A and B are shown apart, each in its own frame.
Chain A
Amino acid sequence: MNVLSRTLCSFWGSSIGKKTIVALTGIVLLLFLPGHLIGNLLVFLGPDAINEYGVFLHEAGHGALVWVARIVLLTCFVVHIVATVQLTRQNRASRTPYAFDATVQASRSSRLMIWSGLTILLFVIYHLLHFTVRVANDFDGPAYQTTLEGHPAQNVYKMIIDGFSWAPATFFYIIAITCLCSHLSHGVASVFQTLGFRSRKASTAIKIFGNLYALVIWIGFLSIPIAIFVFGYGR
Chain B
Amino acid sequence: MSSLNLTLKVWRQAGPNAAGSIETYQAKDIPTEASFLEMLDIVNERLITKGSEPIHFDHDCREGICGACSLTINGIPHGPEGGITTCQLHMRKFSNGDTIWIEPFRAKAFPVIKDLVVDRSAFDRIIESGGYISVRTGSAPDAHAILVPKEAADAAFEAAACIGCGACVAACKNASAMLFVSAKASHLNHLPQGQPEKHQRVLAMVKTMDNEGFGNCTNQYECEAVCPKEISADNIAKLNRDYALAKAHDALV
Contacts and interface: CB of A to CB of B under 8 A. Distances in A.
Where chain A touches its partner, the secondary structure class is: helix
A17 B243 CA distance: 8
Interface residues of A, number: 47
| Residue with the greatest number of chain A CB neighbours at <10 A, chosen from B214, B219, B242, B251 | B219
B125 interface: no
A198 B216 contact: no
B9 interface: yes
Contact of A19 (B75, B101, B106, B216): B216
A25 B59 CA distance: 45
Interface stretch (B42-50, B142-150, B170-178): B170-178
A6 B234 CA distance: 29
A191 B1 CA distance: 53
Interface in B198-253: 206-207, 209-210, 213-222, 225-226, 232-234, 236-244, 247, 250-252
Contact of B106 (A16, A97, A192): A97
B216 A15 contact: yes
Interface of B: 9, 11, 22, 72, 74-76, 82, 101, 103, 106-109, 171, 173-176, 206-207, 209-210, 213-222, 225-226, 232-234, 236-244, 247, 250-252
Interface in A126-158: none
Nearest to A201: B234
A31 interface: no
Interface string A92-129: 01111111111111110011010000000000000000
A14 B240 contact: no
A196 B238 CA distance: 5
A104 B222 CA distance: 6
Given A106-B220, A192-B237, 16 more contacts: A11-B247, A15-B206, A16-B243, A20-B243, A87-B216, A95-B108, A95-B175, A97-B106, A98-B72, A99-B11, A99-B22, A105-B225, A110-B220, A193-B219, A195-B240, A195-B241
Given A94-B107, A195-B241, A196-B238, A16 B213 contact: no
A157 B189 CA distance: 57
A15 to B, nearest CB: 4
B107 A196 contact: no
Contact of A100 (B9, B210, B233): B9
B216 A91 contact: yes
A94 B241 contact: no
Given A95-B107, A100-B75, A113 B218 contact: yes
A28 B75 CA distance: 38
Interface string A1-39: 001101110110011111110000000000000000000
A204 interface: no
A194 interface: yes
Nearest to A96: B106
A100 B251 CA distance: 45
Contact of A110 (B103, B210, B213, B219): B219
A234 B37 CA distance: 70
Contact of A104 (B171, B243, B244): B171
A125 B72 CA distance: 43
A73 B222 CA distance: 33
A189 interface: yes
Given A19-B217, A95-B174, A106-B221, A193 B106 contact: no
Given A90-B215, A98-B72, A101-B75, A19 B240 contact: yes
Contact of B218 (A91, A101, A196): A91
A106 B107 CA distance: 18
B72 A17 contact: no
A235 interface: no
Given A14-B206, A104-B76, A196 B216 contact: no
Nearest to A105: B225
A7 B207 CA distance: 13
Contacts of A190: 218-219
A99 B219 contact: no
| Residue with the greatest number of chain A CB neighbours at <10 A, chosen from B233, B236, B251 | B251
Contacts of B247: 7, 10-11, 17
For the complex of A and B, the 4 pairs showing the least CB-CB separation, nearest first, are: A196-B241, A102-B75, A94-B215, A7-B251
B219 A186 contact: yes
B9 A99 contact: yes
